Structures are given as C-alpha cells and as structure tokens.
Amino acid sequence: MLVIAPSRSLSLISGCFAEARGLPWHNNFDTMPGVSPSTATVASSPKLLDRVRWQLRAKHYSIRTEQTYVDWIRRYILFHRKRHPNEMGEKEITEFLTHLAVEKSVAASKQNQAFAALLFLYQQVLERKLDFIDNAQRVTRPAKLPVVLRLPKRVPCSRI
C-alpha cells in the first residue's frame, strides 16, 4: 500500500490535472513567469518592518510593544536619511540616541525604549552582533526626593 503525505498528494494531483489538460505544470512557485529569479526573490522578500513585526509576534510580544518598536525603528531609519540598517552600526545608533537626548529632550524611559527597539532589530531581525555601544549622551533621570508624611510639630500658643 502506497501512503502519500497530504501536501505531496495535492501537488501530484495538481500535476496530473495539468498534464491531462495539456497545460504546462510547474512545481516551483518561487519564480514568476517573465521575471528573473533574482528580481522575483527581491520582490517576494518581506520588507524590514514586516520582518520586525513577524519576529515580535513569533516571540509573543504585546501588540503595543510591537507598535512602539516599529515606530522607533522607523524613526531611526528616517533620521539617517532612509539608509538600510544593514549599512549602519554602532556609530549610527550612538548618533541617534544622542540626538534624542540632546536635541529632542526625550525622557530617559523613551531613550531606553528606542535603544531596546534598535537592539531587537540588530540582534533578532538582522542577526548581527553589536559591539559595546558607548559615548551616547544618555538622559539622566531626576533624583527622587523622599516624601515625608509627618506633619510639622505645632508649637502650642500660650494664653495671655
């Protein structure tokens, strides 16, 4: 008895119907007719931000984190005049983080968000190991002052 896997049997059946009708049958769906394979693969490869979204969803990040990371990565690319992140590295990340701190005056948490998004982009999506990123102007958080809950001591009034 011959057992055929479901996906394999579908392709065999499709091939039989195509041959029976006298039509050419191609099992390779990676290429498009009239387009060279290199152009077809570029046209069919997902865009960078779509790859970021896919990686975030595959790792079960929240939808809000996905939106935030994609937005920071988009800002990073636009800041460097639409250069692809593969062409950039630690120097450009440092420039972007310094720009956020000095010129945009963002809060420390926003700068940390941007940094986390860029780390995710390079390490998870582009699969590049980054060297230590230093010399970036970091935003300093304001010092937290303790809250005193005791009321000031009242001096009793003397009766005159």
Number of domains the chain contains: 1
Query: Per the domain annotation, does 92 fall within a domain?
Result: yes
Query: Per the domain annotation, does 12 fall within a domain?
Result: no
Task: Please write the tens of the pLDDT for every residue from 93-150.
Answer: 999 999 999 999 899 899 999 999 999 999 999 999 888 777 777 777 778 888 777 7
Query: Per the domain annotation, does 28 fall within a domain?
Result: no
Query: Per the domain annotation, does 140 fall within a domain?
Result: no
Task: Please choose, from the candidates 73, 57, 54, the residue with its C-alpha nearest in 3D space to the C-alpha of residue 116.
Answer: 73
- The set of residues, in sequence order, having a beta carbon less than 8 Å from that of 39 and lying 6+ positions away, is none
Q: Is 56:62 a contact under the CB 8 Å cutoff?
A: no
Query: Per the domain annotation, does 7 fall within a domain?
Result: no
* Statement: residue 8 has pLDDT above 60: no
Domain that holds residue 63: 48-125
> What is the spatial distance between Cα 89 and Cα 128, in angstroms, rounded to a whole number?
9
Query: Per the domain annotation, does 133 fall within a domain?
Result: no
The pLDDT value recorded for residue 55 is 95
Query: Per the domain annotation, does 36 fall within a domain?
Result: no
Side-chain half-sphere exposure of 94, counting CA atoms within 13 A: 11
Q: Is residue 69 classed exposed, middle or buried when 0-12, 13-18 and 19+ CB atoms within 10 A define those classes?
A: buried
The pLDDT value recorded for residue 31 is 45
The CATH number of residue 58's host domain is 1.10.150.130
